[in-house]
A and B are shown apart, each in its own frame.
Chain A
Amino acid sequence: MRIATLCGMGFGTSMMLKLFIDEILTADGIKAQIIPWDLGSFKGQQVDIVVAPTDMGTHLKGYDGRVVLIKNLVDKEEIREKIIAAIRELQDT
């Protein structure tokens, strides 16, 4: 499974998200490759799940894959709930 975390430049917000998701998934025994990406170079990439800050949703309008939007990027519970739900959905399809 490949998960992309997105932000404008690929090493601030997206890196922070990657660090959190790494920790959450490791704790739950879920194996995934989590890649921080900047919006510009992400275009055209294939991943299973995209995770981005809520406010970035508008930049993802044309993207038809699975998108998880996070409102509070330091709220581990919000991140955990949303990412686990997306992974379950993915496994069910």
Chain B
Amino acid sequence: MSEKAKGTNNRPNLLDLLTKRTVQARQSVSTWEEAADRVGKLLVGAGTVEQRYVDAMKQVFRDMGAYAVIAPGIVLLHARPEDGVIEPTFGMVTLATPVPFGHPDNDPVDIVLAFGAVDKQAHITALQQLAKLLMDPAAVERIRTASDDQELVSLIRSLNSGSELTSGP
């Protein structure tokens, strides 16, 4: 794990993981696979997962069903630590036009989230922070409408600042 992502207790903060390397706004894709590839590519590019992890995320989604579409318009993709995770990682891609992921109630999706865990613990702080963020409909709406990568990254920072979600030292 890089020094930067280490945080306290080896549980990195969401802010240290959702950075300009792992966040992209208003992407154009036409299928859910493409959407998954797009966010997967960010994680591979950041050096936090191997390419095979991206394929594993898609396979898990196919095998397990669409429950990973956790809320209207929001999908949270992941696979297993042994599928090629190098260090705890989170990525976010927002879509210019929503695409269907096959969920009966929560389709179509325009916020594509992915994470990689190295065990059952190290990603918990970031996951908790992400859950808090997604629980706030106003915050989700702002994420949805952020027009470029920089705005989206700044937005994530501002949404978390001043709360318990602020990044460690």
Instruction: Report A's interface with B, CB cutoff 8 A.
Output: 7-13, 15-16, 19-20, 39, 52-56, 58-59, 71-76
Instruction: Report B's interface with A, CB cutoff 8 A.
Output: 60, 63-72, 74, 76, 78-80, 103-106, 115, 117, 120, 123-124, 127-128, 130-131, 134-135
- Chain A residues positioned under 8 Å from B80 (CB to CB): 9
| A71 and B115 in contact, given A9-B80, A54-B67 (Cβ under 8 angstroms) | no
A-B contacts, 27 of them at CB < 8 A, read A8-B65, A8-B68, A9-B64, A11-B117, A12-B117, A13-B67, A13-B70, A16-B70, A16-B130, A16-B131, A19-B128, A53-B67, A54-B104, A55-B65, A55-B66, A55-B103, A56-B64, A56-B65, A58-B65, A59-B65, A71-B106, A73-B70, A73-B71, A74-B71, A74-B131, A74-B135, A75-B135
SS class of chain B's interface: helix, strand, loop or mixed? mixed
A72 touches B64 (CB 8 A): no
A54 to B72, CA, bound (A): 13
A32 to B134, CA, bound (A): 25
A-B contact count (CB 8 A): 76
Q: How far is the CB of B70 from chain A (nearest CB, A)?
A: 4
| A15 and B105 in contact, given A56-B65, A72-B72 (Cβ under 8 angstroms) | no
